[in-house]
């Protein structure tokens, strides 16, 4: 035997009704859901921009040491390694049939 529900409000919400809630109630819920989704997107965009800013600052700070690192390497070898790396990533994407879409 299930335990009795001591909360009367919960019991009223769960009881069977002959009439459905009005359209105004449904529209109000949908508007609140859309507002929450807009807030979430805004928060994600804001933090994404902040992260991109920190990434750009970090790249600028590291550009000098990275330039000095690659300055001593032969130009042809560096280009070949870069091309082979890009080709390997492209082949992997094609072979695994990866979809690189950013749709939400």
Find out whether 70 and 78 touch, Cβ atoms under 8 Å. Answer: yes
pLDDT tens track for 60-86: 998 888 888 777 778 888 888 899 999
**What are the angstrom distances between the C-alpha of 66 and each of 1, 54, 63, 70, 72?**
71, 18, 5, 6, 11
Q: pTM score, two decimals?
A: 0.46
**Of the ranges 13-22, 34-43, 55-64, which is most confident?**
34-43
Residue appearing with tokens 């300055």: 71
For residues 36 and 42, what is the distance between their CA atoms, to the nearest angstrom?
Answer: 10
For residues 83 and 98, what is the distance between their CA atoms, to the nearest angstrom?
Answer: 20
The token pair at 7 is: 């909360």
- For residue 8, pLDDT over 80 is answered with no
């Amino acid at each position: 035997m299930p335990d009795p529900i001591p909360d009367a409000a919960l019991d009223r919400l769960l009881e069977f009704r002959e009439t459905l809630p009005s359209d105004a109630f449904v529209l109000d819920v949908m508007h609140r859901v859309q507002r929450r989704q807009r807030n979430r997107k805004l928060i994600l965009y804001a933090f994404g921009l902040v992260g991109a800013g920190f990434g750009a600052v970090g790249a600028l700070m590291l550009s000098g040491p990275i330039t000095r690192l690659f300055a001593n390497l032969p130009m042809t070898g560096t280009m070949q390694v870069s091309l082979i790396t890009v080709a390997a990533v492209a082949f992997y994407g094609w072979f695994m049939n990866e979809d690189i879409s950013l749709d939400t």
